[in-house]
Structures are given as structure tokens and as C-alpha cells.
Amino acid sequence: METRVKLNTVDDVKEFVRLAGKCDFDIDVFYNRIIIDGKSILGVLSLDLTNVLTVRCYGDCESFMAKIAKFAPQEAVA
């Protein structure tokens, strides 16, 4: 399962990694060709946080997806 997130602050990254750490399955965060373990705070912080990131879960992740829904990127208003 995949979704897109926008982590704007270090606190957003901390909360995302904390939520990911509670999952018993792998979570990858990626942008372009760079893939990072979603449970690694240093890994996620190493990504360019000015961009929208893609999150891929490898397990039953409905509750995790619901919790990270607040990080959904805001659509540009024309």
C-alpha cells in the first residue's frame, strides 16, 4: 500500500518515525530513486523535506495510514 506525505518540520519527522516504529512490518519512504527505512529518523531526515515523499507499507497498515493522513500534501490552489 502506498501514500504520499509532506513532512514540513523536524517534529513531523519525529512523529512519523515514532508511528512507523510501532508497526511490525517494513515501511519505506522514498523520493526519486532514494529509498529509506521509514523507521530511521536519520534516514528520513536525510531526504529533501521540501518535496512530497512516497510511503510504502509491507503489511496490514490501515491504522498506520489513518494516523499519517494528517501529513497528506496540500493540493496547490490555482
pTM of the shown model = 0.86
**Alpha carbons 46 and 62: distance in angstroms, whole number:** 26
**What is the share, in percent, of the chain residues with pLDDT greater than 90?**
51
Mean pLDDT of the chain: 88
Is the pLDDT score of 18 beyond 80? Answer: yes
Is the pLDDT score of 26 beyond 50? Answer: yes
Q: What is the pLDDT of residue 78?
A: 46
Instruction: Catalogue all structural domains in the chain, each as residue range(s) with its CATH number.
Output: 2-71 (3.30.1340.10)
**Alpha carbons 78 and 24: distance in angstroms, whole number:** 40
- Label residue 76 by pLDDT band (50, 70, 90): very low
**Alpha carbons 22 and 46: distance in angstroms, whole number:** 21
What are the beta bridge partners of residue 31? Answer: 34
